Amino acid sequence: MQRFLLVLSLIFCTFSVFAQDIPEHISYTRIYDYLDELAGDGIISLNSVIKPYSRSFIKDKLLEAQKRTGELNKRQRDELVFFLNDYALEQDKLPESHVNIWKNEASSAALIQPGFHYRDTIFRARITPLLGMHITHNDNGNIIKRWYGADIQLMIGKHLSVYGSLRDVSIQGALLARPTYLNDNPGYEYKESSAGGDYSDSRGGIKYAWNWGSVGLVKDNVVWGDNYHGSNILSGRAPSFPMLTLRLKPVKWFELQYIHGWLVSNVADSTRNYIDNVGNAFPRMANKFIAANMFTFTPIQNLNLSVGNSIIYAESTIQPAYLIPIAFYKSMDHTMTKGLGLENQNSQVFINFSSRNIKHLHLYTSAYADEISFSRFSPGSAAKNPISFKVGGNLSNLPLDNLSLTAEFTRTNIINYKHSIPVLTWASNSYNLGSYLGDNSQEIYLALRYKPIRGLDLGLSYMSAEHGNEYDYLRRNSFGADAITKIISQPVLGEITWTNKTLGFNAQYEVINNAYALINVAYSDIRGYNLSSTPIEGEKRLTDQGYLDLFSPKYLQGQHATVTVGFSFGF
């Protein structure tokens, strides 16, 4: 054992200096958009299938772009200087500041707004206050959202990083995010009141990184799958959850990402209870885990082909087989559960294709598949495999600088993301982990964005979303006959139960690093529809108002012009 530890120490000592891995949260969309723009213009290479990126990775990409500043337009050069200042600690220096409170050859510190930065020979730190308010108004009244908190990032030595973020949020008025609502507002567990609700959001972790990989224990949000308006694999909309992470990129043409996460089932475990001091029993929540991997191959520069698989399982303890990062989990599941005559755990496979081989153009597609049967692909089969797919493209800086156009189509088949055993659904805290529209749905999304100067982003977007018949996942019906085949033989979408057509304008200005002001205007028409056809077993039937209440908050139902203004320090 001592020899093994010595070998590991010698290996790690040869790794490059300052390889920390602190994730940049997915809410800081401006830096993600900027890197995507540079990659589309052929300035940098980028594998964008999995987010968040680490701050060190972002720093490397910004320095990669700095070597080609002659190919950037003025706004892009200004953005580059602006972002490099925000990632100064990752470059082993302090951000530019007019106020130096202490400095010598060995160490220094600087106070800049809205955060504190410190650096010495072995320790670097960033503390950022979080403060913000959004006010939303339409015919139904006002929603006031306030939050405050702090974000801390510590880089210790050359390879270790620790980070944490805590914000306390109060909402006065309607709550726009619930597990059944078909919108892309981030989900949380609210403490509700008659005036609204509140929640606290705590993320953080510890990571050890080297120049071609990292391992960590974190609680955070993750996005898997290229997209510009919500992923259909892992969307990041569900509340953050704890997970073990592994990233390996030993060569330019291959990368492996793996997570093993602890999800929140919101399903009672009938075999376990809490007992209070007077003998009352309270059910404990059933365990729920996820293991997932993604392999990305880059056969030629700017062409990324990714394939992966995952499993949702609900055993009493962690299954060691699912800690293997390169495993095919469906096969393992069959080996470990079939002999008992049990239904298997819930496994999935997914693929992602991303091409930036045509300058200024990003083409991408992703697919999430559940319960695959190859016989269902035959032309004569009425039954459809539960599959979700997304296809889209983004054209940037052509024909005009600082202008981009996005077009995206998403479609998800019946009972995708669902399972006949409630604890095994593709969800955490009851929020779907995949597309915010859930199963049996489709969306068309178009967006035009213009960035005239550094920090100012203007966007015009149109979305048309539809949701079809709602089905429970039944293996067998009340007569013991095969129910799932009949359910997935129904037409995809079928009769429409809910629609959302929204035309939106948004403007955001990042005044200084991590401090912004915004205004969003959305004209939406959200409707529910009663169904007339004869239902089948497992199909939910509601009135038009019932579908509206299930899928949309009353605040947004019908036709409304909704305006949001706000500011924020930190993201």
Separation between Cα atoms, residue 258 and residue 249, nearest integer Å: 12
Other residues' Cβ atoms within 10 Å of the Cβ of residue 297? 12
Residue 430 corresponds to which amino acid?
A: S
Separation between Cα atoms, residue 537 and residue 299, nearest integer Å: 48
Q: Which two tokens stand for residue 30?
A: 């401006």
Whether the upstream peptide bond of residue 239 has omega within 30° of 0, thus cis, is no
Q: Does residue 334 have a pLDDT over 90?
A: no
Q: For 259-282, how does the pLDDT look when each residue is reduced to its tens digit (9 = 90+)? A: 999 999 999 988 888 888 888 888
The dihedral built from the CA positions of residue 147, 148, 149 and 153, taken in this order, carries a sign that is: positive
Q: For 199-209, how does the pLDDT look when each residue is reduced to its tens digit (9 = 90+)? A: 999 999 999 99
Q: Angle between the 29-40 and 55-66 helix axes, to the nearest 10 degrees? A: 40
Q: Residue 402 domain-assigned?
A: yes
Q: Residue 11 domain-assigned?
A: no
Cα distances (angstroms) measured from residue 287 to each of 68, 203, 268, 462: 50, 20, 9, 40
Alpha-helix residue ranges (DSSP H) falling in 88-180: none
pLDDT-based confidence at 111, cuts 50/70/90?
A: very low
pLDDT-based confidence at 188, cuts 50/70/90?
A: very high
- pTM, rounded to two decimals: 0.92
Q: Residue 7 domain-assigned?
A: no
Mean pLDDT of the region 317-341: 87
pLDDT-based confidence at 533, cuts 50/70/90?
A: confident
Q: Residue 13 domain-assigned?
A: no
Q: Residue 1 domain-assigned?
A: no
Residue pair 529/547 in contact (Cβ under 8 Å)? The answer is yes
Report which of residues 331 and 355 the model is more confident about: 355
Q: Does residue 484 have a pLDDT over 50?
A: yes
Report which of residues 113 and 399 the model is more confident about: 399
Q: Does residue 9 have a pLDDT over 60?
A: no
Q: Residue 2 domain-assigned?
A: no
Mean pLDDT of the region 24-47: 97
pLDDT-based confidence at 167, cuts 50/70/90?
A: very high
Q: Residue 322 domain-assigned?
A: yes
Separation between Cα atoms, residue 122 and residue 413, nearest integer Å: 53
pLDDT at 377: 72
Q: Does residue 98 have a pLDDT over 50?
A: no
Nearest-Å Rg of the Cα atoms of the chain is 24
Residue 491 sits in a domain whose CATH number is 2.40.160.130
Helix (H, G, I), strand (E, B) or coil at 6: helix
pLDDT at 272: 86
Separation between Cα atoms, residue 493 and residue 466, nearest integer Å: 8
Among residues 565, 558, 551, which one has the least CA distance to residue 505? 565
Report which of residues 478 and 338 the model is more confident about: 338
pLDDT-based confidence at 535, cuts 50/70/90?
A: confident
pLDDT at 255: 98
Separation between Cα atoms, residue 538 and residue 533, nearest integer Å: 14
pLDDT at 52: 98
Q: For 372-391, how does the pLDDT look when each residue is reduced to its tens digit (9 = 90+)? A: 777 777 777 777 889 999 99
Q: For 54-87, how does the pLDDT look when each residue is reduced to its tens digit (9 = 90+)? A: 999 999 999 999 999 999 999 999 999 999 999 9
Alpha-helix residue ranges (DSSP H) falling in 398-557: 484-488, 544-551
Q: Which two tokens stand for residue 52?
A: 């968040």
Mean pLDDT of the region 394-414: 97
Report which of residues 334 and 228 the model is more confident about: 228
Residue pair 550/150 in contact (Cβ under 8 Å)? The answer is no
Separation between Cα atoms, residue 171 and residue 144, nearest integer Å: 6
Whether the upstream peptide bond of residue 114 has omega within 30° of 0, thus cis, is yes
Place of tokens 């390996």: 248
Q: For 417-453, how does the pLDDT look when each residue is reduced to its tens digit (9 = 90+)? A: 999 999 999 999 999 999 999 999 999 999 999 999 9
- 57 by Cβ neighbours in 10 Å (0-12 / 13-18 / 19+) ranks as buried
Count of domains forming the chain = 1
What is the average pLDDT score of the chain? 90
pLDDT at 106: 42
pLDDT at 340: 60
Q: What is the DSSP string of 59-113?
A: HHHHHHHHTTGGGS-HHHHHHHHHHHHHTTGGGTSPPP-S-EEEE-SS-EEEEET
Q: Does residue 411 have a pLDDT over 60?
A: yes
Separation between Cα atoms, residue 313 and residue 288, nearest integer Å: 6
Mean pLDDT of the region 519-540: 92
Mean pLDDT of the region 295-318: 96
Separation between Cα atoms, residue 109 and residue 376, nearest integer Å: 63
**Residue 227, domain extent:** 19-569
Q: Residue 478 domain-assigned?
A: yes
Q: Does residue 100 have a pLDDT over 50?
A: no
